[in-house]
Chain A
Amino acid sequence: DIQMTQSPSTLSASVGDRVTITCRASQSISSWLAWYQQKPGKAPNLLIYKASSLENGVPSRFSGSGSGTEFTLTITSLQPDDFATYYCQHYNSYSWAFGQGTKVEI
């Protein structure tokens, strides 16, 4: 099975900062990668699909890049509403897997 590894596990940042989260796949997944945001007590919310496509309604300060085995989620100018946990997920094969999550905290 394909394993997904995110780094860092926790990230301390301030409002206005540029933030980058990395996700690595144990084997190539082409661009079959999504990013989700989850706030405490809430369901996850899709931000990015196919590695770099922004989901409808998601602010443009979120962007994704990468292909193959290495991917990044970037948040330009972090806003108070962005403090949350972020997960990457591959859907390359019929055995989906999530990264362990990255908590973005103040």
Chain B
Amino acid sequence: EVQLLESGGGLVQPGGSLRLSCAASGFSFSSYAMSWVRQAPGKGLEWVSAISGGTTTYYADSVKGRFTISRDNSKNTLYLQMSSLRAEDTAIYYCAKGASIAPRCAFDLWGQGTMVTVSS
């Protein structure tokens, strides 16, 4: 079955760190760009970060310098290392599969999301 499964969310204090994972199955993971998209409670979608099928990375200004996206193609897994977390980072974090190896594409498969809450 083609699917994405996120994990690693939870409650973290402001200034803390957290690493999200996204396990992919059912498709050739290394052949597609991947992204993280978040959604604050009751709000719209916000693109966070993307990575090509290789190592080229892209970040939203709101997370640049604090978040790091990476992938392990041998483990079919996408990661998002988040540090210096702020209350405004509280959101459901979705991983999303790009429709091509280049990041400049729509997202044709989404995970179920993992909740990150930044609060003291």
- Chain A residues touching B, majority SS: loop
What interface size band does chain A fall in? 20 to 34
Q: Does A49 contact B (CB under 8 A)?
A: yes
Q: Is the CB of B106 within 8 A of A98?
A: no
| Interface residues, chain A, with chain B CB atoms under 8 Å away | 1, 32, 34, 36, 38, 43-46, 49-50, 55, 87, 89, 91-101
What interface size band does chain B fall in? 20 to 34
- Rounded to whole Å, the gap between the CB of A40 and the closest CB of chain B is 11
* Contacting residues, chain A, for B110 (C-beta < 8 A): 43-45
| Interface residues, chain B, with chain A CB atoms under 8 Å away | 35, 37, 44-47, 50, 58, 60-61, 94, 99, 103-108, 110-113
Knowing that A89-B45, A95-B60 touch, tell me 15 more A-B residue pairs with CB under 8 angstroms. Answer: A1-B61, A36-B107, A43-B110, A44-B37, A45-B110, A46-B106, A46-B108, A49-B106, A50-B106, A87-B45, A91-B105, A91-B106, A94-B50, A100-B44, A101-B44
